Amino acid sequence: MPTKISQLKQDFTEGLSQISRFWGFPKGMGAIFAVLYLSPNPLSLDEIVQATGLTKGAVSTEVRTLARMGLVHRSSKLADRKDYYMAEDDFYKSIRSILRERQNSEFDSAIRSVGDTLAKLEAGEVSGDKDEIDFIYKRVQALQEFFNAIDSLTRAVVRLESLGLSNVKNILSILK
């Protein structure tokens, strides 16, 4: 028995919701992106609310975040006061946008706090149970290494951007 298109869209939306949550974004953000990505036409907030089941306030908030990240674009229709939204379909551009979001000052502040914690541990400025301090040190060090890797990836993507998309595709095809 073939799958109905409505079920396919629902499954895709649920899948992107889970991916969104996995990457630390709200599930609703993934659902909104999924609905917009599968729509051949820009959708209004009301249409997104209807398709996702989210509240209008939640949709409005998440759409603004997606737009700030460059994953959703606003458009308008002549003689219509509503804003309409469509998903970015250039995945390379989307990844660049997400990695640029990493450069957000709030995120940098959070990363600095991890570095500060690690520095205090390394300087021996923390007193308490040695086993607990060792455990915390290993955990914080692993998190710092992860953030360092994300920073390296961000810098690499920005450098690749300067080569141009066609050159990046050529490089990637050689690596396959």
Using alpha carbons only, give the angle 69, 8, 38 rounded to the nearest 5 degrees: 35
d(C-alpha 36, C-alpha 86), whole Å = 5
Distance (Å, rounded) from C-alpha 59 to C-alpha 36?
12
Domain co-membership, 77 together with 107: no
Angle (CA) 137 149 61, round 5°: 100
165: confidence class by pLDDT, cuts 50, 70, 90? low
d(CA 165, CA 102): 21
| CA 139 to centroid of chain Cα atoms | 24
**Could you tell me the residue range of the domain that residue 13 belongs to?**
5-87
Mean pLDDT of 90-115: 69
The region that residue 129 occupies, defined by phi over 0 for left and psi between -120 and 50 for alpha, beta otherwise, is beta
Asked if 130 and 167 sit in the same domain, the reply is yes
One domain, residues 36 and 15 = yes
| Helix spans in the chain (H) | 5-22, 27-37, 45-52, 56-68, 91-101, 105-122, 130-163, 165-175
pTM of the model: 0.63
Lowest mean pLDDT among 6-15, 80-89, 90-99, 108-117: 90-99
Percent of the chain's residues with pLDDT above 70? 81
**Residues 123 and 155 both lie in one domain:** yes
CATH of residue 64: 1.10.10.10
Q: How many domains does the chain have?
A: 2
Residues 102 and 161 in one domain: yes
Predicted confidence at residue 53, as pLDDT, reads 94
Model confidence at 164, pLDDT cuts 50, 70, 90, reads low
pLDDT at 102 over 60: no
Asked whether residue 21 falls in the same domain as residue 82, the answer is yes
Task: Please determine, for residue 87, whether its predicted confidence score (pLDDT) is greater than 80.
Answer: yes
At 36 the pLDDT is: 94
Q: Where a domain ends, among 87, 117, 141?
A: 87
Classify 156 as helix, strand or coil.
helix
Residues 119, 50, single domain; the answer is no
